[in-house]
Chain A
């Protein structure tokens, strides 16, 4: 029983892959939902120019002291890279705070032949949200320091 359950999610995926291979369905991926964007949000994708985004982050850091970098799926690596690069190259004390989340993605399986019904396949993908912010020595308020 246990072994069957373990196989089950795999089998569904394999089933879909099989159907696509047999040319009975074609896969169409929908874009993840676009959320409202602030000026200091930086969305990283695999296609964006890394150097350009680094420059953009620097600009935002100089003007606003904090930047939020988001990356989804395969772009997580690049997002982390970008955040570390910003941290490394900026003068002064720059810290990062990382949060992860899961994004639901929708795939459409469009039938290629008349006999099949269209299907919708939902999968999850991980995302990372990194807050990069400046910490200056003077900005720490006296009442925030806890005395032992």
Chain B
């Protein structure tokens, strides 16, 4: 065996020798190796990664304080070390947390962070407890960080859920009623239901809802659903009767679109004469003025049967009848006898809240204006649970009595009063100091004239037929959001985010803007975003664990290809799709479906039905 192996080795050696070069250029060989060695040496010298220069020294050459004193290093390393020091000094250390948390620095930081996405007034409260997301130009609370899906559902069913809806944008239109309606008539169509000029909403005792389209583009190019509120018509108003005021509340995702359309509606023909466009917030043409009240009004939404009791506990009618020498806004405002009469009626309404088991018993979308005291004074020290309703009033005439427009009137409509209420708010610190001075803790401090009076508007929301999802919207002046929010929470309301709003819409089987409006631009943006999210989630899974949509025969698992659907019906001649919102057509359709499947309960307000472009 051994000899055999040796033989084989010999044979191979002979072969190798046969292939040897005839001569070796020593100089050339040494030159190329030298280059390689040099490159390697350079590579070693380079200080890469997080290692500092002094760390490359062997341990016996290391000295104390080498990291900041260059002269401790051997001279050959000075140049490299100097570069390193420069890097450190040009990129200074982040200031300490203590420094950063100083009130002035903290506020500066908050200002910087708010520049891109607007914060709600309750932002800091939410940011500590909620998952936040940038949506529609705002930083919006999505859902609570603790497990809360079931708790939120129960809150809407049995207790009270509260949402900060201050991101809804308000646009104020002032002018002659006829002119306003003429302009807005181009944006709406009566086939979709009530429009801005509905008689039921004109006197300002009810909030209206309508779908808005681009200028004369119905049924294509829907912008979105808006709610609107006319300023109540009162006889003894100081201003002339012809001029009316209208608030349009829209979702922030369609605010810019609506603003542009309003500009088209109310701009006169001759562009340079009448228009006085000061800045983006207002524009006027002739007698009509359009002002953006975006971020100047707050809106809290209370949902659930207990919201009545919570409102009763939080909203204490302010004392307005005390006559002092000083002239506060409420004293001037309530000088008119009809208004002070309305004040007592509003007080009666607040009293009735405690004896009514559900907000769904009031007239749908009714509007009630109230002037209340500072909510921080009556706030309990600790969070309390909602008390069970004790005595139910058997007489419920107040719930369905026709509202007088005086009762719906509120000082919140007046911009000067809004400003004054905002400016004269007592700081939390001062109020807490006053509270701590009281001998008996918890006793109500009667601050007299010092106490702020806050005008508030309540809007009823009826929910579905079983009273599920019924509640109140509370419209508050600027700066007061946090004061009311905390008081609501301390009286037992459960805070929720926009995820819970979506699930509420699902439970009620109503549509949620913008998710369920695929023909609006906000809706299509949402669709694309959610498709992207789903696709990413799908791609993250290993291929073997992915759902095989091809095999299951699902052509578009992440997106609704509306256009493909309609093109198969109409040989691809379509340009746009729209959602059918014509009430009469929908009624006919639902009758047709109900005739076939009577067992399926169908109560959808609008069904998505893509239609082809007739043009």
Contacts and interface: CB of A to CB of B under 8 A. Distances in A.
Contact of A113 (B190, B360, B363): B190
Interface stretch (A51-59, A116-124, A134-142): A116-124
Interface stretch (A32-40, A68-76, A85-93): A32-40
A120 B462 CA distance: 15
Interface residues of A, number: 23
A114 B190 CA distance: 8
A106 B360 contact: no
B193 A31 contact: no
A106 B200 contact: no
Question: Number of contact residues on B: which range applies?
Answer: 20 to 34
Contact of A35 (B388, B392, B584): B392
Interface in B279-327: none
B190 A36 contact: no
Interface string B577-615: 000000110010000000000000000000000000000
A110 B194 CA distance: 10
Contact of B360 (A23, A30, A36, A120): A30
Contacts of B510: none
Interface in B349-408: 356-358, 360-361, 363-364, 388-390, 392, 394, 396, 399-400, 402
Contacts of B389: 36
Contacts of B358: 31, 34
B194 A33 contact: no
A46 to B, nearest CB: 14
A115 interface: yes
Given A28-B364, A30-B360, A116 B199 contact: yes
Interface string B199-226: 1100000100000000000000000000
A104 B396 CA distance: 9
Nearest to B399: A106
B363 A120 contact: yes
A106 B400 contact: yes
A145 B584 CA distance: 70
B183 interface: no
Contacts of A114: 190, 194-195, 197-199
Interface in A4-47: 23, 28-31, 33-36
B396 A116 contact: no
Given A36-B392, A118-B200, A122-B400, A31 B360 contact: yes
A106 B467 CA distance: 13
B400 A110 contact: no
Contacts of B399: 106
B466 interface: yes
